[in-house]
Structure 1
């Protein structure tokens, strides 16, 4: 009889326990974006149902930021809306997704396009600080470059400065930002004061860097649409 009562109590309490264990996105997540834009973002969900984010993408021309509100039901269905500042413009969007203890994913519908996202809880990322050398291949040009990368107060975000040497026009200055992701992923936006161009060349790059072996390989595009590849050494 006591065993039957105990079993019945367990069945009654099970839904309450399941409800108490409803998934929550509270905390910081590393999120990869795809679709109308591609990039890395760090998204922080707060207990008060607000969330903020910052990241670097192919179209951000630096760091983009956003803030919004979120909700999640007992099945882990995530919804929200936000306002984002990207490349000097404000855009709005809505999110529809799913959250578990180890993953957040879903779709974004925004005034600047449709996106998909997938993220995992924030992890420590490698330290990119230091002096790096690179060979940038831009069309038929091979440009030796040197970069000084320094950590900023924002986690995972680095300031990049340096110079390159053009075989046709001497030295040119480089300035930009790098955002480190897990597993060696890196996103970079840089401006290069090319001596042959009237306006700076805006470059977006993505790839992988291994700070331990001091090597990296990046690929991206100039603002003109021209492909650029960069091999790195430290």
Structure 2
């Protein structure tokens, strides 16, 4: 009888022991990260087995791609922790992150010299191919500016160069040049500089979802002067 009770107790304890000895989930791999807080945007982060990590992305406040590199570890309590240096808008910022790694997701917070952020990450997936010619109508106040844009893939996965232009009824021809970052489920981040026939420069940051199969895709955002802008795109 005693042997039976001991065997039963051992069976009851063994799952707990196995759970206690189980390794913490690892972040190794590439993740698509949604940023919110002091800034908003999308980034792709790669955690390496040697405990280094690198990332690139676009945000509402970046004038183009930002990049960062840092180191990570899993603490004794099983939490993800790390520190990094980021290059953004021609300058550098430093920050630290703390988060939780679970199966198929990472979430946490960031404290940096340019603000506080939260993030949610999911494993990198294939994104749609945006390469090719697109037509669009940009709406700035009451103005409607038709244009033609060409998207060309860059050397980085999910990143495209956008070039194009059109005709404005008030300032003549204009050109644009910028960067597009594609995310899962059609998510798109776009930042672009513009130049009109009079040499006046502008900057816009937009976001939304895009599908080449849709007749119209709308991205919304703001110009550098704070004015709202949206663009309807069709391929």
Give ranges in structure 1 of 5+ residues lacking alignment.
none
Task: Note the alpha carbon deviations across 1:24-68, whole angstroms, 9 max, x for none.
Answer: 111000000011111000000111111100000011100000001
Question: How many pairs are equivalent?
Answer: 233
Q: Is the 8 A contact 2:219 2:230 kept in 1?
A: yes
Q: Is the 8 A contact 2:172 2:196 kept in 1?
A: no
Give ranges in structure 2 of 5+ residues lacking alignment.
none
SS of equivalent residue, structure 1 residue 125 = coil
**Structure 1 residue 216: deviation in Å?**
1.4
Q: Equivalents in 1 of 2:22, 2:217: separation in Å?
A: 45
Alpha-carbon RMSD across the aligned residues, in angstroms, is 1.9
Matching of residues 160-199 of structure 1 within 5 Å: 160-195=162-197, 198=200
Q: Equivalents in 2 of 1:29, 1:18: separation in Å?
A: 27
2:218 alignment counterpart:
217
**Structure 1 residue 169: deviation in Å?**
2.4
Task: Note the alpha carbon deviations across 1:64-103, whole angstroms, 9 max, x for none.
Answer: 0000111114654111110000001100001111111111
Matching of residues 91-110 of structure 1 within 5 Å: 91-110=93-112
Q: Equivalents in 1 of 2:12, 2:50: separation in Å?
A: 32
Q: Which moved more, 1:35-44 or 1:68-77?
A: 68-77
Q: Equivalents in 1 of 2:215, 2:87: separation in Å?
A: 34
When residues 138 and 196 of structure 1 are mapped into structure 2, their CA distance, relative to the original with a 3 A threshold, is farther
2:13 alignment counterpart:
11
2:230 alignment counterpart:
229
Q: Is the 8 A contact 1:23 1:75 kept in 2?
A: no
Instruction: Return the TM-score normalized by structure 2.
Output: 0.92
Q: Equivalents in 2 of 1:18, 1:45: separation in Å?
A: 25
Q: Equivalents in 1 of 2:79, 2:160: separation in Å?
A: 34
